[in-house]
Amino acid sequence: MRMKLVLASLSPRRKQLLKQVGVECEIRGAKVDERLDPGLTPAENAEALALKKARAVAPQAGGAAVLAADTLVVAGGRVLGKPRDEEEAQRMLMTLQGGWHEVVTGYALVLPDETERSGSAVTRVCFAKMTPGAVRRYIREYRPTDKAGAYGIQDGMARYIRRVEGCFYNVMGLPIERVCRLLEDAGVIEE
């Protein structure tokens, strides 16, 4: 690695994905207003939120590059963020089951010289049908209230994933190939 990297996220999945490809980083959570702008597309909102998070952490990064991401789930034109509680998680999962939805992740990098770079990725996911009992069991066992759309593709929900079109890792919260290319182009990591 050429430059120290701070990940402006408390997501253990994002840190794990970076570590998996040899990118070490320090973790710092970013507290920002995550309300969506109704005038923006889901991809634009996700990218804007990622930039907001990176900008919030950059002043305390001590000369490190700051990477941030934000993931949204879009079903039937409706954006699903993180559910507030188990009841909302159940409603979200009942909406998603038996059909296609999109997972949109915005990512952003703020360099020590305040240069900003960002982008987004979209992955389509098709769920198999789930019974209400299966939905309740999943929520009870995996407690998905910290995940956009109320599910993790890498956990017990895998048994209901019929098809994925696009980057699998994007559904986990970080389109790793695109992010690594961004880090390489910015000189944060070596190719």
Residues designated catalytic = 70
SS (H, E, C) the chain: CCCCEEECCCCHHHHHHHHHCCCCCEECCCCCCCCCCCCCCHHHHHHHHHHHHHHHHHHHCCCCEEEEEEEEEEECCEEECCCCCHHHHHHHHHHHCCCEEEEEEEEEEECCCCCEEEEEEEEEEEECCCCHHHHHHHHHHHCHHHCHHHCCCCCHHHHHEEEEECCHHHHHCCCHHHHHHHHHHCCCCCC
